[in-house]
């Protein structure tokens, strides 16, 4: 008995010593859950799956080894149902098991491949909705990301081994995949071979390290996307060019961040997978770049296409075999990206930008590969020192490769060849006002990359350790993880970041959620009028928005017949007597071409009449006519007036979707025909951008500018009629305030000359860009200087979740509830100074 | 120092072709040649070419994989499996 009592404490200590790692990992996972919530990393589905995964890990840790893989398989299947719902989850699993079942049919391989192709074609038809079915369209991108490439690898490896059921289910439905339509092409053999191939605690900690690295990359991505990306129109000198190119490339952090999260999570269940990326910004050659960026894709292409092609072609010589196999691999990469895009968005883009990027990279890689094959390259086991000369040369090569990749990447992501050429136009047209010839940012980037290459560029992917004394050492990545979590968790707390001042707090708030950059916000808006813009960059927030957009969502204005073209400066107007039903209600226009009730040309004697100038929100896109803030305000004012007098108030809605500030100058003339007492000009944010964008489009289309003073301002800015739209934008950008001031002065002066009161109303966007507060403030000052009465509704949506006030994820027009809030804010402002609006009795 | 003649020959080749100047004892039986990036795809193809010429064997495309080529013992095992 004494010996039993003596053994128990020793067993407890031993258990603790053995399992303290478990506690440490759980603690870090708990911190990760907090960070995922604080910073709204990825989407709600992923955050739910993370909690499931971490809870699953807590149980999985104690399971006997033979139960762990089946447990993971079960967890993965559960995640599919949790995210997609019971019915759609079952459809996904059903289609998936059908594909898996075909792989295992006792038939020759070519028959199985043919069957899979047949099923694939049926799935494609279902994706395009040629075959109706009870499933949601949301399952196709997920099913495709699970099977479209991995089934190829699986069949390839099945020729030489027989997989178990649990492993197969785990491989295809692996836990995080249900949240990610973009998923790394995990190699089957690698998946099998690396399963618990090292100390389990080391594997789990590596997983945590990678997840934290992924989170950091995603936060960095947001910062770059929101604050640092530029549109081509912003590029006016070497430094804005550098910013445009580098920020554009660094948006790839979105992909590498996601892939780190995914593979890190898989580590928690024993899959000791290789890294997906390795310091790709520090590549010293194009071949090196191909090896470091998206390593899983590279390995997939090498295994399935490159090696079989090389072996087949090498009888003609090894160097020719390398050249041909490499070119074919890149051509197939191009094709397979379009194939992937089909499953995500339903089209198969074949565009010159993709061709130039992939084949251009192919040529560069081929040159490097042939050179390496013939002359070798420097490798190390860590026992030799690199000479200073070699280190400097490697650093310089890395800078060159980085800049070249940024340029190539900019071709890939450009909207058109004209856009791409425009960003270089300052080289032959000169640097416009506001630009600087000194490439300071370029120099700084080169120095940073050079130093990074010297310090980190020669590191292998093997684990690096930091000695902590007394023979104790930790992987460097783990030390970084603990420090980063220790920093990010508190910084993300409102109780902490509000202590750093408004500017810092606003930055942290913006990083806590995924807003659109200014360029993407403009593209989203343009999408309402011109159909879906070319949103095929996987790293764009806008891409995410459009992923959810159903085909033929709320009708686009452009093709609906609601607006019709004009030959003059206005360019569009609302059709008269139009009617159409939409899922958000009817849209009707009256005999004057307004979306409003019936009004006479002249107001009656007891009527105070206002006209409101605006755009799609003011017109009431997505709400019924009587739900627009204009209609709600008019009704509320008249209800009040009825109680106190026989005065009436009429507010005529002259808003037209797509109108930008300069168009309101001409639209005002239409409004003046109705003898208003008050003119309301609605500003929606991005007044400066919308002004110069409209003028750039107008000039590039060759539309005549009917205002000599405006034409003079454009000439002063160096605008030429043979410039592209992007070049005109670059010229106008430094003069944006001057041009907005022209619009405001014009409208205000015209009104005041006729005894009409001009009122400037600011309706804040539901999802403001980073530049919005500063641009709004500048516009407000300009409006005040012009003589407008100011009604600033900046805080009208405070305290409400913007997502609940917008029509859809992909259509950010305000709902009826938001319109009611705007109307309420306007009424309060008018009731404070009723005399200013000709309504003393209000 | 390995006693296996095949491992020894392969090790000498790798040191001479891809790791000139490195200490021979740093390349051990546990060194993960492929997964740690010491042998990239081009180096792997040159290694395959060497093995085929040296031992008069034929290596299949699916054997260009870490499972067969990641360490010296695995490379030697692959060669021995071909020699019969």
Q: pLDDT-based confidence at A495, cuts 50/70/90?
A: confident
pLDDT at A25 over 50: yes
Per mean pLDDT, which range of A294-303, A326-335, A462-471, B37-46 is the poorest? A462-471
Check residue A456 and give its pLDDT.
Answer: 86
Q: What is the pLDDT of residue A720?
A: 86
pLDDT level of residue A510 (50, 70, 90 thresholds): confident
Please report which confidence band the pLDDT of residue B2 belongs to, taking 50, 70 and 90 as the band edges: low
* Nearest-angstrom CA–CA distance, A475 and A206: 9
Position B49 pLDDT exceeds 90: yes
Give per-residue burial for B36-65: e unless 16+ CB within 10 Å, then b.
Answer: ebbbbbbbbbbbbeebeeebebebebbbbb
Which residue does chain A place closest to B26, by CA atoms? A381
Is A62 strand, coil or helix? coil
- Cα–Cα distance for residue pair A335/A723, rounded to 1 Å: 34
Rounded Cα–Cα distance for residues A484 and B70 (Å):
33
Higher pLDDT, A839 or B42: B42
Which pLDDT band, with edges at 50, 70 and 90, does A527 fall under? low
Residue A71 clears pLDDT 90, i.e. is over it: yes
Classify strands A607-613 and A678-683 as parallel, antiparallel or unpaired.
parallel
Per-residue pLDDT at A11 exceeds 60: no
**Contact flag A302-B41 (C-beta cutoff 8 Å):** yes
The verdict on B36 touching A (C-beta cutoff 8 Å) is yes
All residues of chain B having their beta carbon less than 8 Å from the beta carbon of residue A308 are 61
Interface test with B, best of A276, A307, A313, A319 (most B CBs within 10 A): A307
CA-nearest residue to A300 within chain B is B65
Length of chain A, please?
Answer: 842
- The mean per-residue pLDDT over the stretch A253-275 comes to 95
* A 616-655 near B (Cβ less than 8 A): none
Residues of A in contact with B21 (CB under 8 A): 384
For testing the chain A interface, which of B25, B32, B37, B43 should be mutated: the one with the most A CBs within 10 Å?
A: B37
| A752-763 average pLDDT score | 96
Q: Tell me how close the Cα of A763 comes to any Cα of chain B, in angstroms.
A: 56
Distance CA A706, CA A717 (A): 18
Nearest by CB to B36, from A369, A383, A461: name it.
Answer: A461
Secondary structure of residue A649 in the 3-state scheme: strand
Query: For residue A447, what are the contacts with CB-CB under 8 A and spacing of at least 6?
Result: none
Q: Which of A264, A271, A248, A81 is nearest to A193 (CA)?
A: A271
The pLDDT, as a whole number, for residue A645 is: 85
Q: Using the predicted structure, report yes or no on whether residue A210 has a pLDDT greater than 60.
A: yes
Q: Does residue A360 register a pLDDT over 80? A: yes
Sign of the torsion formed by the C-alpha atoms of A289, A290, A294 and A296: negative
Mean pLDDT of A744-764: 96
- At residue A588, the 3 state secondary structure works out as strand
Q: Is A611 a residue whose pLDDT tops 60?
A: yes
- Mean pLDDT (whole number) for B23-36: 88
In the predicted structure, residue A544 carries a pLDDT above the cut 70: no
Tokens in use for A157?
Answer: 């490896």
Contacts of A160 (CB under 8 A, 6+ apart): B62
Query: Percentage of chain B surpassing pLDDT 90?
Result: 63
| pLDDT at position A173 over 90 | yes
Distance from CA of B76 to the nearest CA of A (A): 19
Q: Do B36 and A306 touch (CB under 8 A)?
A: no
Residue A452 pLDDT > 80, yes or no? yes
Closest CA to A123 of A156, A77, A102, A92: A92
A448-462, A608-622, A789-803: segment of lowest average pLDDT: A448-462
The set of long-range contacts for A326-332, using a CB threshold of 8 Å and a minimum separation of 24, is: A326/A362, A326/A365, A326/A366, A326/A369, A327/A359, A327/A362, A327/A366, A329/A301, A329/A302, A329/A305, A329/A362, A330/A358, A330/A359, A330/A361, A330/A362, A330/A365, A331/A358, A331/A359, A331/A362, A332/A301, A332/A305
pLDDT score of A469 more than 80: no
- pLDDT value at A545 more than 60: no
Decide if pLDDT at A10 tops 50. no
Residue A8, pLDDT above cutoff 50: no
Confidence (pLDDT) at A12:
55
pLDDT value of position A631? 95
More confident: B47 or B1: B47
Q: How far apart are CA A793 and CA A761, in angstroms?
A: 7
Residue A551, pLDDT > 50, answer no
Contacts of A804 (CB under 8 A, 6+ apart): A815, A817
Domain A563-837, CATH:
3.40.50.1110
The alpha carbon of residue A199 is apart from the nearest alpha carbon of chain B, in Å, by 15
- Phi and psi dihedrals of A573, rounded to 5? -155, 165
Domain ranges across chain B: 29-84
User: Which residues contact residue A344 at a Cβ distance below 8 angstroms, ignoring those fewer than 6 apart?
Assistant: A141, A144, A181, A182, A547
Mean pLDDT of the residues in chain A: 88
pLDDT band at A578 (very low <50, low <70, confident <90, very high): confident
What's the pLDDT band for A644 if we cut at 50, 70, 90? Answer: confident
First to last CA, chain A: 93
**pTM of the predicted protein model:** 0.84
Arithmetic mean of pLDDT, A397-402: 96
Q: Using the predicted structure, report yes or no on whether residue A1 has a pLDDT greater than 50.
A: no
Smallest CA–CA distance, residue B21 to chain A, in Å, is 7
* The pLDDT value given to residue A547: 52
Alpha-carbon distance of A190 to A187, in angstroms, equals: 5
* Token pair for A721: 């009629």
The whole-number pLDDT of residue A539 equals 45
Question: In whole angstroms, what is the distance from residue A378 CA to residue B22 CA?
Answer: 11
* pLDDT per position as a tens digit, A278-295: 899 999 999 999 999 999
Looking at per-residue confidence, does B70 or A540 come out higher?
Answer: B70
B6: closest CA of chain A, how far (Å): 21
Count CA within 13 A, CB hemisphere, residue A808.
19
CB atoms within 10 A of CB A458: 18
Q: Which residues pair with A609 in a beta bridge?
A: A650
Is A156 near chain B, with CB under 8 Å?
yes
Residue pairs between chains A and B whose CB atoms are closer than 8 Å: 69
Q: Evaluate if residue A222 carries a pLDDT over 70.
A: yes
SS (H, E, C) A286-299: HHHHHHHCCHHHHH
Q: Does position A672 have pLDDT exceeding 60, yes or no?
A: yes
Q: Which among A306, A310, A381 has the least Cβ separation from residue B22?
A: A381
When comparing pLDDT for B47 and A43, which is higher?
Answer: B47
């Amino acid at each position: 008995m004494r010996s039993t009592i003596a053994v128990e404490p020793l067993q407890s200590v031993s258990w603790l010593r053995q399992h303290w790692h478990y506690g440490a990992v759980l603690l870090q996972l708990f911190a990760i859950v907090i960070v995922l919530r604080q910073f709204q990393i990825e989407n709600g589905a992923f955050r739910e799956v993370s909690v499931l995964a971490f809870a699953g890990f807590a149980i999985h840790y104690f399971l006997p080894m033979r139960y762990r893989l089946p447990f993971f398989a079960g967890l993965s299947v559960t995640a599919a149902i949790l995210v997609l719902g019971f019915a759609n989850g079952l459809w996904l699993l059903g289609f998936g098991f059908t594909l898996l079942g075909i792989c295992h049919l006792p038939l020759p391989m070519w028959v199985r491949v043919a069957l899979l192709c047949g099923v694939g074609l049926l799935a494609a038809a279902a994706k395009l909705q040629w075959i109706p079915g009870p499933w949601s369209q949301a399952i196709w991108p997920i099913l495709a990301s699970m099977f479209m490439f991995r089934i190829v690898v699986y069949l390839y490896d099945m020729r030489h081994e027989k997989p178990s059921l649990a492993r197969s289910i785990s491989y295809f439905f692996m836990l995080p995949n249900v949240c990610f339509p973009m998923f790394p092409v995990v190699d089957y053999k690698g998946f099998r071979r690396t399963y618990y191939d090292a100390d389990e605690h080391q594997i789990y900690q590596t997983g945590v390290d990678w997840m934290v690295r992924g989170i950091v990359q995603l936060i960095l991505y947001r910062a770059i996307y929101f604050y640092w990306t530029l549109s081509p129109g912003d590029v006016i000198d070497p430094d804005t060019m550098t910013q445009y190119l580098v920020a554009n490339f660094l948006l790839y952090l979105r992909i590498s961040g996601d892939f780190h999260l995914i593979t890190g999570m898989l580590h928690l269940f024993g899959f000791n997978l290789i890294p997906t990326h390795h310091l790709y910004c520090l590549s010293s050659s194009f071949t090196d770049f191909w090896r470091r960026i998206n390593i899983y894709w590279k390995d997939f292409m090498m295994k399935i296409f490159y090696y079989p092609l090389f072996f087949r072609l090498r009888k003609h010589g090894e160097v020719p075999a390398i050249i041909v196999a490499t070119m074919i691999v890149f051509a197939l990469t191009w094709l397979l990206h379009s194939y992937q895009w089909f499953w995500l968005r339903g089209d198969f883009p074949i565009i010159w930008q993709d061709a130039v990027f992939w084949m251009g990279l192919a040529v560069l890689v081929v040159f490097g590969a042939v050179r390496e094959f013939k002359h070798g390259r420097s490798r190390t086991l860590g026992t030799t020192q690199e000479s200073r000369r070699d280190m400097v040369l490697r650093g310089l090569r890395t800078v060159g490769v980085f800049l070249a990749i940024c340029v190539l990447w900019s071709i890939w992501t450009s909207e058109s060849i004209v856009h791409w050429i425009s960003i270089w136009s300052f080289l032959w047209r000169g640097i416009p006002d506001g630009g600087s010839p000194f490439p300071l940012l370029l120099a700084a980037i080169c120095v940073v990359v050079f130093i990074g290459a010297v310090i980190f560029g020669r590191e292998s992917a093997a684990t690096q350790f930091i000695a902590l004394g007394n023979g104790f050492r930790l992987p460097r990545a783990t030390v970084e993880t603990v420090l980063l979590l220790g920093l990010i968790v508190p910084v993300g707390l409102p109780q902490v970041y509000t202590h750093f001042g408004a500017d810092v707090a606003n930055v942290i708030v913006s990083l806590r959620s995924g807003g659109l950059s200014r360029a993407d916000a403009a593209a989203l808006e343009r999408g309402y009028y011109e159909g879906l813009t070319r949103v095929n960059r996987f790293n764009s927030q806008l891409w995410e928005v459009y992923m959810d957009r159903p085909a033929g969502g709320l009708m686009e204005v452009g093709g609906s017949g609601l607006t019709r073209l004009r030959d003059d400066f206005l360019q569009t107007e609302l059709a008269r007597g139009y009617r159409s039903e939409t899922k958000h209600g009817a849209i009707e226009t009256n005999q004057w071409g307004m979306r409003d009730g019936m009004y006479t040309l002249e107001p009656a004697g007891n009527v105070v009449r206002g006209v409101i100038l605006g755009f799609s929100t003011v017109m009431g896109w997505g709400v019924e006519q009587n739900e627009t803030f204009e209609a709600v305000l008019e009704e509320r004012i008249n209800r009040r007036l009825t109680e106190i007098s026989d005065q009436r108030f009429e507010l005529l809605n002259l808003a037209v979707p797509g109108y930008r500030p300069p168009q309101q100058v001409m639209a005002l003339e239409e409004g003046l025909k109705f003898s208003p007492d008050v003119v309301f000009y609605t500003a929606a944010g991005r007044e400066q951008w919308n002004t110069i964008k409209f003028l750039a489009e107008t000039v590039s289309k060759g539309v005549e500018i009917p205002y000599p003073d405006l034409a003079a301002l454009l000439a002063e800015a160096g605008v030429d009629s043979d410039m592209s739209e992007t070049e005109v934008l670059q010229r106008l950008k430094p003069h944006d305030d001057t041009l907005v001031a022209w619009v405001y002065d014009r409208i205000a002066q015209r009104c005041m000359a006729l005894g009409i009161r001009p009122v400037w109303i600011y309706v804040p966007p539901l999802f403001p860009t980073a530049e919005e507060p500063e641009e709004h403030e500048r516009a407000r000052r300009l409006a005040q200087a012009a003589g407008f009465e100011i009604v600033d509704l900046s805080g009208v949506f405070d305290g409400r979740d913007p997502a609940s006030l917008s029509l859809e994820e992909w259509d950010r027009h305000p709902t009826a509830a938001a319109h009611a809030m705007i109307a309420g804010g306007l009424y309060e402002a008018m009731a404070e100074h009723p005399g200013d609006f000709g309504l003393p009795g209000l | 120092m390995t006693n296996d003649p095949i491992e020894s020959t392969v090790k000498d080749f790798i040191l001479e072709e891809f790791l000139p100047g490195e200490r021979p004892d740093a390349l051990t039986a546990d060194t993960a040649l492929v997964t740690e990036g010491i042998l990239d795809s081009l180096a792997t193809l040159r290694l395959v070419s060497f093995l085929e010429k040296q031992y008069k064997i034929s290596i299949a495309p699916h054997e260009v994989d870490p499972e067969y080529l990641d360490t010296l013992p695995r490379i030697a095992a692959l060669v021995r499996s071909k020699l019969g």
